A and B are shown apart, each in its own frame.
Chain A
Amino acid sequence: MPAWFTPATALCGLMFAISPFLIANAPYESTMGLVQKIFYVHLPSAWMFLIAAIVCGVASIRFLFRGDARHDRLAWAAAELVVLFGIVTLVTGPLWARKAWGVWWQWDVRLTASLIGWMVSVAYLLLRKYGGPGSDKLAAGLALFGMANVPFIYISVNYWRTIHPTTSVVPTLPTSFGLPLWFSTVMFLLLFVLLLRARVRLEEQRAELDELYLSVDG
């Protein structure tokens, strides 16, 4: 593991310890009250969900067209993080929605497209696990199509009628809300990078193991 990994982990842990205080001290939102505080984990998870999908897609393109296994390892790691942050987003969202909107779920564009994007990442993992030889390239092709979904998810709230807040909400947040949000986002981003690096390490070790097996057999 690289030199920055352990100090970064310590920093991330520290941020996790501090965050409850920042979140608790943030003011109550006028219409939604206490439940709005789910926002401070829901929004960063959603961003990590989209970022992971983009990382997976870009790494897949590079793997498809250059054939370097490093990109494939990164793509696989990123896909697992899409599933992880996707689950977190798709669970925290409805928990918030139940109170704020009165319903658990809406079949609007953003939620539907997000659910579909998440399913694509699950399909990616199934393919890697059960597809047999050659499934690395196939999964890369799938990830490409999945990544095309991402901008659609993001801008959909601005063009379709929906209860979900639009993208103009975050930039216009007052500082008292903005500070815990950005703190939380940086924390999630750091966590994302750490998890990605650890997962890539797993792939690297597996590759080393495979090579060793091959040299034994050969």
Chain B
Amino acid sequence: MTQPATQDLITVNIDGREIAVPRGTNMIEAALRLGIDVPHYCYHPKLSVAGNCRMCLVEMGMPAVDPATKAPVIDPATGRKRINWIPRPTIACSTNAVAGLHIRTTSPLVRDCREGVMEFLLVNHPLDCPICDQAGECKLQEQATGYGRGYSRYIEQKNAKPKRTLLGPRVMLDDERCILCSRCVRFCKEIAKDDVLGFTDRGSYSTLACYPGRRLENDYSLNTVDICPVGALTSTDFRFKMRVWFLRQTNSIDTGSSVGANTVVWSREGAVYRITPRQNDEVNDTWMADSGRVLYKAIRAHGRLDAVRVDGAQSALEFAVRAAAGILGVGGVAVVGSGRSSVEEQFLTRKLRDALGASASLVSRVGKGDGLLVSADRNPNVRGALVTGLVAGLPAASLDPLGAQIDSGAVKAVVSVGEDLADAGLSAAQLAKVPIVYLGTHANPTSAAARVVIPTLTVFEKSGTFVNQQFRIQKFANAVPGVAGATDDLVALARLTAAVGGPSLGGDVRSIWKQIAAEVPALAGVGYDGIPDTGLLLDGAPWAGLAFAEGPSLRFRPADPPQKEAAGRG
């Protein structure tokens, strides 16, 4: 990890411009604050400094001091402090800010250093960008435009190395492309705590490899692909499927657990190709779990519901809503909401519950947290259900109480918002005993048993917000259009609520947020558009007494009392 910078500010001079930075800030980060790019490969802000690529060499100097008086020496020619420049270039990544430090990033020496390193990196690197999967997001390719020669002085044979080594189930290595920056090695050791990667052989023949008998198969292995600056590490799921410059990037949230890792969904023409982490230093830094990267496959998974059905027959939404209202009008309705639904959907589910005078419950999904970015609560948004008032407490471990009420006849009809009741513990007999209205994305025993089925959207096909384990409300955006035949959850819920005699509500995020702001105390004054990309911390104090399942993770300690940020920030 980079040196923890202290809070006291000191002034450094970069290319003649002064900037105050916390003492200990490294020069790459300090330059970035001035908008000056110091090219680098091995440096990564979330990993230890290796200093091996030598691309970030800069000139460094300190003000000259009179040995006798300790006063700075003034250059009579310019009237400014004289700087003693060190003749050797130094690496910016391991040069930390001290008062008076001067660096030059544009001098002829620095340019010569960068060109030299570029040439060296390319002499044994394949020059075949057109067939390389990294093209378009390759740091080597980017820097070559600025510091490459344009022709090669190298007429010798290039080194030959293994081209396709499967390091683990999800990561493929092309050793010829590897520039030995050791980012992946450091990631495995420092972040994933699974020290499996290292180098074999020496010098230019050095080769990245797994330790004997080990594989790169931890749940964070694909982060090595993200941080690989070149095309050496590629994802077996994504490699050679699509050119990155064709892909649209949409901000999203990992729904794998209540951590709520920030993500980017990469899509083209309605199809998602990959999911990568998006930096949020308060939540997931620059990482995400491999398990969250495959969730997009649900969009086109077998069994996706694509038609509104009433008693098994395809129907129009209007008829289905009317039929559902008829079923639910008999009273004794139980609403099963979901910790996977967005805040907006949970708000509307609450409206539906209120209109029906019903009770509401959630389905619990508690597993084992990994201490990093998969928490014990696999529902991404249980706290949203608390904040919106859909439920007052944490979900019970099972739906057995609901089953008992069905058996006793107290519950006469059930609405399930995206939850498979069979999977949650109800028996086939219980499902058969009461009429069910089901809103969901995929076929399951509940959709099969339901009288009314309304297909809805996956997280990639709609917009909304989740509240993660920190009580941080975070936005996700619509990346691809919904499948044909599916209805936006908000539209379905709003129509259903109106049909059972509830208020007439808008079926889109912004109009619902007007209502939310007015009715939900924790979100009063928080506008949807006011939530920054990195989320907004809510005040979780009203729920501090609940026994949440989560243990510590990367940026979360359960004992931390959640604090409210200035409302409406951003």
Q: Do A and B bind each other?
A: no
